[in-house]
Amino acid sequence: MQEEVRAFYFQNDCHLIISDFLRNHAENPFLIFCIGTDRYIGDCLGPLIGTLLTKLNIIAPIFGTLDEPIHAVNLSESIIEAKLRYPHHKVIAIDACLGTKENVGIIHLKKTPIHPGKGVGKKLPPVGDISIVGIVDSAESREFLYIHNIRLSLIMKMAEAVVRGIYRAC
């Protein structure tokens, strides 16, 4: 079993790759922890996924939606709340990140925690037993600090692929 896999969101089998990885690595019970904010298109991947999953009524608890996002300001308290409410659950953490131009659109799945904010120089606590990370923009130039050029269409398509994979795995 691979400890890390990746797939482009537009691959026909992207959701199958996600589903297979989760079936092989996610231990029950688990909860889904979606990180990001709806204030920036590039950072709304996590909360968008959380919102879409809540509409499907899956059995796993979901933290982080467009209405109640988990971001840098409330991350630590959200981690504590999740651990208190679901002490025996493993955590699948979901976030957006920056990468290289040619990797934009890749969804990484790993058996390691996410380190939120690392790409923009923030020191936040790691989250998760399994991570699902979508590369939404390039960090090659520091332009991402000034120009928000990310298409909502990209974020939506990536979110749909992840949601289909999680839904199939449940």
Grade residue 148 by pLDDT with cuts at 50, 70 and 90.
Answer: low
31 lies in which domain range? 4-169
Measured distance CA(101)–CA(117) in Å, rounded = 19
Instruction: Tell whether the model's pLDDT for residue 1 goes beyond 70.
Output: no
Parallel/antiparallel/unpaired status of strands 106-110 and 4-8:
antiparallel
| Per-residue DSSP letter, 41 | G
Q: What is the pLDDT of residue 24?
A: 93
CATH of the domain at 19: 3.40.50.1450
Measured distance CA(91)–CA(62) in Å, rounded = 10
Could you tell me where the beta strands, DSSP code E, fall in the chain? 4-8, 30-34, 62-63, 90-99, 106-110, 130-138
How many structural domains is the chain composed of? Answer: 1
Q: What is the pLDDT of residue 65?
A: 98
